[in-house]
Amino acid sequence: MTLYKLAELGANEKHVPYTTEDVAKNVGVSQQTASRRLIQMQHEGLIERMKEGRNQTIQITSEGVRELTGMYNVLKRVFEAPKTDLLLRGVLFTGLAEGSYYVSKEGYRKQFRAKLGFDPFPGTLNIRLSKEDLSERRLLEGYPSVYIEGFQNQKRSYGPAKCYKAIVEEKVPAAIILPIRAHYGEDVIEIISPESLRKRLNLKDGDVVRVRTFLNPN
> Based on the domain organization, do 23 and 63 belong to the same domain?
yes
Q: What is the pLDDT of residues 148-172, one digit of tens each?
A: 998 887 778 888 999 999 999 999 9
Domain co-membership, 117 together with 187: yes
Largest CA distance in the chain: 65
Confidence of residue 182 (pLDDT cuts 50, 70, 90): low
The count of structural domains within the chain is 2
Residues 6+ apart with CB under 8 A from 204: 92, 198
pLDDT at 11: 86
Answer with the residue of higher pLDDT: 16 or 100. Answer: 16
Q: Is the pLDDT of residue 78 over 80?
A: no
Same domain, 141 and 189: yes
User: Do 172 and 65 belong together in one domain?
Assistant: no
Q: What is the mean pLDDT of the chain?
A: 87
Do 53 and 120 share a structural domain?
Answer: no
The pLDDT, as a whole number, for residue 153 is: 79
Of 8 and 164, more confident: 164
Per-residue pLDDT at 157: 87
- The CA distance from 3 to 12, in Å, is 9
Picking from 28, 50, 77, the residue at the C-terminal end of a domain is 77
Q: Using one digit for the tens of pLDDT, what is the confidence trace for 92-109?
A: 998 776 777 788 888 999
31 and 136 part of one domain: no
Does residue 54 have a pLDDT over 80? no
Average pLDDT over residues 75-89: 78
- Residue 81 pLDDT: 60
One domain for residues 13 and 54 = yes
Residue 218 is predicted with a pLDDT of 66
Higher model confidence: residue 171 or residue 20?
Answer: 171
CA dihedral 138, 142, 143, 149 (to 10 degrees): 90
The pLDDT value recorded for residue 193 is 96
Which domain CATH number covers 26? 1.10.10.10
The predicted model gives 18-43 an average pLDDT of: 89
Residues 91 and 168 in one domain: yes
- Among 77, 99, 134, identify where a domain stops: 77
95 and 50 within one domain: no
Q: Do 107 and 72 share a structural domain?
A: no
Spell out the residues 6+ positions from residue 86 whose beta carbon is closer than 8 angstroms to its own. 136, 139, 140, 212, 213, 215
- Which of 77, 108, 136 is the endpoint of a domain? 77
Residue 123 structural domain: 85-214
Same domain (yes/no): 93, 181: yes
Same domain, 94 and 184: yes
